[in-house]
Amino acid sequence: MSFRTCIHLKVNGQQCQSPALRNSTHCHFHHQHRRMKRRQINIEKFDSNRARLDALHKVMNAVLQNRLDPEVARTLLYGIANSYRL
């Protein structure tokens, strides 16, 4: 019998290989893990250097508290850094 497997990549680069949930690409554990990391972070406008520093602080704290996926944080930090050029 053929079934889909979880697409999550472990730290060592290997794929999870657990059966994926119906209508999902992840297993039960990694589906819950991803949901936990999707918690919302409110970042205001980047209209001043103080606002940019505040946004950086919020992103870094969210990563340290496991409320934000590091990949999402990387994208946010890239956007904050590039807002200086605007």
Q: Where are the domains of the chain?
A: 1-36, 41-85
- Report the predicted TM-score, pTM, of the whole model to 2 decimal places: 0.50
Which residues are registered as beta bridge partners of 15? 9
Query: Looking at residue 36, what is its pLDDT?
Result: 56
Give the pLDDT confidence of 27-51 residue by residue, as tens digits. 888 776 665 555 556 666 777 888 8
Give the whole-angstrom CA distance, residue 35 versus residue 48: 32
Long-range contacts of 56-61 (CB under 8 A, 24+ apart): 56/80
- Token pair for 44: 């205001």
